[in-house]
Structure 1
C-alpha cells in the first residue's frame, strides 16, 4: 500500500507518538567519592557495592539514537473530521462539517470516501444577534505559517471561542454526519446574513462560517503543509468553535514482525 500523506502529517504523527527510547549523558567524568576506610581494607572493598560507572556520550552519538514511533508503513488509513459551529444569542446556529477517510481493503487497495454537511437553523428574527458594528477584528487572514496556525481575535464581552486540532490513533474513529460522496455543501438563512460552507477540493479543504458577529474558518492546504484555524468575533455572547481531528489507523502486525522490528532497532542503536 502506498498512501500519499503530507510531510506535515507524518511529522505531527511522529511528534505525537514520541520516542520511547532514552539516552543519558553526563557533563563530568568523576566518580562518587568513597570512604577512605573502605578503600584501605580489601575485605571491606569486597562488600562495597560496585561504583556507578559514568561514560561520556557526545552529541553526535545522541543524535543517532532512535525510539519507537509510527512510521509510514504502519499507517493503513485515516479519518479526518473537520467541524465549525457558531451559536448566536438570538438562537441562530450555523454549522459546517465534513469527513474524509481512506482505508486499505483486504486485497491491498485503497478506498476513499467524503461526506459534507452545512446548515443554518433556529433563531428569532426580532432578537438581538449580539453583533457590534463598531467593533473591528481584522488581520488574521494574513497570518501564514508552515505547520499549524490558530488565531483568535475577539472584540466583545462574554464570548466563547475555541480552536482545536488533534491527531490520534483510533481504529474505530467516528464519521461525522453528512451527504455521502458530496465534496461540498453550503447553507444560509433567508436574509443571507448567516452562511455556512465546506469544500473538499484538489487544493485542500476549506470551511467557513459567516455571521453578523464575525467569521470562523478552517483551511488545510497539503501542498504548502499548512493547517489554519481562524476565529474573528465582533460582538457579545457568541459561542464559536473550530475543531479538527485526524485519526490515523494502524495495521495489525504479527508477533514475528514485532520481534523483527525489535531486533532491527537494537542493531541500529548499537551501530
Structure 2
C-alpha cells in the first residue's frame, strides 16, 4: 500500500466520520417553530460510514480544438480492522487543429497558495468563455463511483503537448490537479494536515482568452451501511434522556 495515499486517506476519513455524542446535553435553548420548519439535514451514525471515494476532474477545451483533461481519485474502504486504499490518476492532451494566439492579459495568483479552508475562485479575462467550479457530496450504499487501481494504483501522471500540460499528483500533501495552457491555468487541491496549505479544498480557474470552455468537478462519495438495531436503540435512549433533562429542571 502506498504510504502517502494511506496517510492522506486516514486524514480525510477522520474528518468524514461524525462522532456519536456519549454524554447527555447539560444545557438547552428554545427554538421557534418557524426555525424548525426550515431546518434540513441528515444525521449519520459513525458506524454507518463504511468508506469514501474522492474524485476530481479538470477539463479544458479551446476553440482551436485542443482538449486537456486530468483526473484523480482516492478510494478508502474498511477491511477487517484496517482500511484498504486505492488510487488512480490520469492525464491527456489532444492537440489543436488550428493556431490561436493567447491573450496578453495577466492573472494575479501569488496569494492563492496561502488560502486555507474551502475556496472556489474564477478569474476570467476575455469574451465567450464558460468557466465552472462544481463540488458535491453524496451518500449511498454503492462502494465506488469510478474504478481505481487498488493499492498499487497510479498516484501521479503528467502529459505535455504543444505548450499545454496536464498534471495530477496524489501524495502525503494531498490531491492536486493542474492544467496549464497558453490561455490560462486550472487547478484543484485537497490538502490536510500541517503546513501552509493545511485543511484546504480549492478549485481555481484562470482564463485569458476567448471562447474557452473550462470545468472543475469534485465529488466526495460517502458509502453508507444500514444502521443496526442496537444503534437504533442507543439513539432512541439518548434522545429520550435528552428530552427528559429539561423537564427535571
TM bin, normalised by shorter chain, reads 0.7 to 0.9
1:196 and 2:166 correspond:
yes
What residue in structure 1 maps to residue 90 of structure 2?
117
Q: Say if 2:74 and 2:148, in contact at 8 Å, map to a contact too.
A: no
1:159 and 2:129 correspond:
yes
Q: CA deviation at 1:144?
A: 4.2
Q: CA deviation at 1:73?
A: 3.6
What residue in structure 1 maps to residue 217 of structure 2?
243
Q: Secondary structure at the match of 1:151?
A: strand
Count of equivalent residues: 215
Q: Say if 1:101 and 1:112, in contact at 8 Å, map to a contact too.
A: yes
Q: CA deviation at 1:254?
A: 2.2
Q: Which among 58, 67, 70 is matched to residue 44 of structure 2?
A: 70
Return the structure number with greater strand share.
Answer: 2
Q: Deviations over 1:93-141 (max 9, x none)?
A: 0000011000113x343111001110001421x3326x21x21222375
> Compared with structure 1, are the counterparts of its residues 166 and 139 closer, same or farther at alpha carbon in structure 2 (3 Å cutoff)?
same
What residue in structure 2 maps to residue 30 of structure 1?
none
Q: CA deviation at 1:260?
A: 2.6
Q: CA deviation at 1:68?
A: 5.8
**TM-score, normalised with respect to structure 2:** 0.76
**TM-score, normalised with respect to structure 1:** 0.70
1:127 and 2:63 correspond:
no
Q: Which among 150, 162, 183 is matched to residue 213 of structure 1?
A: 183
The list of structure 1 runs, each at least 4 consecutive aligned residues, that deviate by more than 4 angstroms after superposition, is 6-11, 176-180
What residue in structure 2 maps to residue 185 of structure 1?
157
1:265 and 2:236 correspond:
no
- Within 5 A, what are the aligned runs for 1:37-56? none
Q: Within 2, Cα distance between the matches of 1:240 and 1:220? A: 19
Q: Which structure's relative contact order is higher, taking Cα pairs within 8 Å and 6+ residues apart?
A: 2
Q: CA deviation at 1:171?
A: 2.7
Q: Secondary structure at the match of 1:5?
A: helix
Q: Which among 43, 48, 54 is matched to residue 80 of structure 1?
A: 54
Q: Say if 2:50 and 2:77, in contact at 8 Å, map to a contact too.
A: yes
> Compared with structure 1, are the counterparts of its residues 229 and 213 closer, same or farther at alpha carbon in structure 2 (3 Å cutoff)?
same
> Compared with structure 1, are the counterparts of its residues 23 and 10 closer, same or farther at alpha carbon in structure 2 (3 Å cutoff)?
farther
Q: CA deviation at 1:265?
A: 2.4
Higher Cα radius of gyration: 1
Q: CA deviation at 1:88?
A: 0.7
**Aligned-CA RMSD value:** 2.9
Q: Say if 2:11 and 2:192, in contact at 8 Å, map to a contact too.
A: no
Q: Within 1, Cα distance between the matches of 2:110 and 2:141? A: 35
